Amino acid sequence: MNIDMIQAAAARLKGHVRHTPLLSSPFLDEIAGRRIFIKPECLQHTGSFKYRGGWSAISALDPETRAKGVFAFSSGNHAQGIAAAAKAHKAPAVILMPSDAPQIKIANTRALGAEVVLYDRATEDRDALGAKLSAERGLTLIKPFDEPQVIAGQGTIGLEIAEDAKTLGITCADVSICCGGGGLTSGIATALASDAPDMIARPVEPEGFDDVIRSLKAGQIVANAATTGSICDAIITPSPGEITFPIMQRLCGTGIVVTEDEALRAMAHAFQRLKLVVEPGGAVALAAALFHPDAFTHDTVIAIISGGNVDATMFSRALATLE
């Protein structure tokens, strides 16, 4: 994965993926004590940045392979991103989901045109099922983050930041990034190193699920103790990827850990000041910018909002922090 792949992905994505704006609010600047800009990938097709990686990977397949179809393991944003990107390419998409996934996620993924195959987490082996499907139908697996063309797609966000910040006269900044397996973070970091070398990528994770930050400190990949039990479920992964980790080691600044309460409060501020709907995992980078000002070094922080797929109950919890 390198800058040439990101630029090639940007060329393929042009006109199909939304170039999201940089938003700001004087009220948020006041809280953060500096100028902050927000890159709202919740406004991306399917409500998260995952559409970029999905589009990039599917558009990079040779036409014959693509026509056979793709598959993914996911019950979340990656599933929707792959389903919609495959549909746009008129390619079949099969999404393997645990049978206990929320009905709304299954329905949404189907509505976006994918075939959903359910499996029983207790009795069935997901990987074996995937391998069988792949062999029988010639489907290509699109991994959620540890896949070069997926990383290249997420990296296009970094190109857009470099371009739009330059228009605003900004060249130096910390770029605060919601971090799961590191696909988004390593893609953006690679793009910034090329197009905005005075910006630094800063991974942000929720407390208790800070595998990337601990791995960066340890100098080797370490895993989370658990992968369930966080409201920031959209960005929880077992451990950083084998491709993403060395990139983050080389290019990222120190990570920042935020609490779940800070993520909920950041969601409430995004509601009130930006008019954006943000999911808990998508709010951690903004939470870092607002509530951990001492962790940043530059006068400007650019915070990525990674997604907005949140239900009314969880959103109401965030709104309750305003009272």
Min separation Cβ 305 and a copy of itself, Å:
9
Residue type, 120: D
Residue 240 phi/psi, 5° resolution?
Answer: -60, 160
When the beta carbons of 40 and 148 are compared against a copy of itself, the nearer one is: 40
41/146 with CB nearer a copy of itself: 41
Q: Which has the closest alpha carbon to 165: 2, 306, 37?
A: 37
Residue 320 C-beta: closest distance to a copy of itself, Å = 8
Question: Are the C-beta atoms of 291 and 260 separated by less than 8 Å?
Answer: no
Distance CA 184, CA 319 (A): 27
Using only the alpha carbons of the chain, give its radius of gyration. Answer: 18
CA distance 232 to 288: 14
In sequence order, the 6+-apart residues with CB closer than 8 A to the CB of 18 are 43, 44, 45
Closer CB to a copy of itself, residue 49 or residue 209? 49
Specify the residue, 87 or 298, whose C-beta has the smaller distance to a copy of itself: 87
Task: Compute the least distance from the CB of residue 308 to a copy of itself, in Å.
Answer: 3
Nearer to a copy of itself, 28 or 200 (CB): 28
* Residue 234 identity: A
Q: Are 160 and 199 in contact (CB under 8 A)?
A: no
Please tell me the distance from the alpha carbon of residue 310 to that of residue 323, in angstroms, as a whole number: 20
Q: Give the residue with the Cβ less far from a copy of itself, 27 or 226.
A: 27
CB of 18 to a copy of itself, least distance (A): 7
Shortest separation between residue 270's beta carbon and a copy of itself, angstroms: 8
Whole-number minimum distance, CB 47 to a copy of itself, in Å? 6
> Which chain residues interact with a copy of itself by CB under 8 A?
18, 21, 23, 26-27, 30, 40, 42-43, 47, 84, 111-112, 268, 271, 274-278, 308, 312, 315-316, 319-320, 322-323
